[in-house]
Amino acid sequence: MSKAKQLRDRMAERGLVHIMAAHSPLSAILAEEAGFDGLWASGFELSALYGLADMSLITMTQHLDMLRVIAGQSSLPIVADIDTGYGNALNVIHAIREYEKAGTAAVVIEDKTFPKVTSLAADGRQELLRIEEFQGKIEAAVSVRNDPDFLVIARTEALIAGLGEEEALKRGMAYAEAGADMILIHSKKKDPAEIESFSRAWKGPVPLTIVPNAYPELDATRIRALGNIKMTIYGNYGIRAATTAMQDAFRRIIADGGVQNVHKDIVPVEEIFRLQKMDQVKADEKRFLR
């Protein structure tokens, strides 16, 4: 069974799947151990890992390189954040071929112009493509996939750009008509009212995906009650959690003049050995090194 089929089956069986952002193989391992249904190969998180802004500065090659090593360390389906598709519809064709070969189960393409600016940045430049042009990107993506279960998810930034619900619904419907398997509706409002309103108004033929970063109180119970949201992506929590932990530990070490206190509050090195599968490495050494 392909990872794409696995992801579709999980949505059908569970009604709602939970996808955790990953920026490294280690974060992917931890997400799988925690019980998530899939991984979000996040452009934002990878950009942050490189110390760069999420503004199309990370190349497709860099993203694919990380995605491949994540896929090698996790059995979970991967939903790839490919931003605007790295250019026009021709770039999208190339991207879909490469991401599918890399083992991706789904891609999310957004209707911004290239290069994009991260959605939640205050006063960020949020310019959207013409509907017809983005439909061409979706049609190109759908036409070139080899696995019919491979998910093409169209993300509209109409609410992010301040264009309102009517425009967002219009764009979502147009993208579904172009062949998108799901519509990702995004918002930077601090409460979920805008997303809930869109969900109730959505009469399109495909289900919805959301990324509740700005409105964290929209939990699984409320999402399920809406009925047409089938995927929740936790888009930046891995890198934020890692940053929180490292900031705290590093500052304490400087303040304490050493690691004598902080070492008691972090995982022992043996836990890292476990995540690195050192037992298997040692077994292989014993078996094969002569």
- The dihedral over CA atoms of 5, 139, 205, 35, expressed in degrees to the nearest 10, equals 30
Kindly report, residue by residue over 207-236, the tens digit of the pLDDT: 999 999 999 999 999 999 999 999 999 999
Whether residue 62 has pLDDT greater than 90: yes
Strands (E), the chain: 17-22, 38-41, 78-81, 106-110, 151-156, 182-185, 208-210, 229-234
The whole-number pLDDT of residue 124 equals 66
Q: Token pair for residue 116?
A: 């994009």
Which residue has tokens 């250019």?
A: 87
The whole-number pLDDT of residue 178 equals 98
In three-state secondary structure terms, 234 is: strand
Whether residue 125 has pLDDT greater than 70: no
245-269 b/e (C-beta count within 10 Å ≥ 16 → b)? eeeeeeeeeeeeeeeeebeeeeeee
The rounded percent of the chain whose pLDDT value lies above 90 is 93
pLDDT band at 22 (very low <50, low <70, confident <90, very high): very high
The whole-number pLDDT of residue 84 equals 94
Active-site residue flag, 81: no
pLDDT band at 116 (very low <50, low <70, confident <90, very high): confident
Question: Please, which residues have CB within 8 angstroms of residue 202's CB and are 6 or more apart in sequence?
Answer: 169, 172, 183, 185, 208, 228
Among 37, 54, 81, 111, the active-site one is 54
Whether residue 121 has pLDDT greater than 90: no
The whole-number pLDDT of residue 126 equals 74
Give helix 89-101 / helix 131-144 axis angle, nearest 10°.
30
Alpha-carbon distance of 178 to 50, in angstroms, equals 35
Kindly report, residue by residue over 160-212, the tens digit of the pLDDT: 999 999 999 999 999 999 999 999 999 999 999 999 999 999 999 999 999 99
Domain boundaries, the chain: 3-238, 243-288
Mean pLDDT, the chain, whole residue set:
96
The whole-number pLDDT of residue 169 equals 98
CA-to-CA separations, 90 to 19, 70, 155, in angstroms, rounded: 28, 26, 18
Alpha-carbon distance of 28 to 184, in angstroms, equals 22
CATH class of domain segment(s) 3-238: alpha beta
Whether residue 106 has pLDDT greater than 70: yes
pTM of the prediction? Answer: 0.95
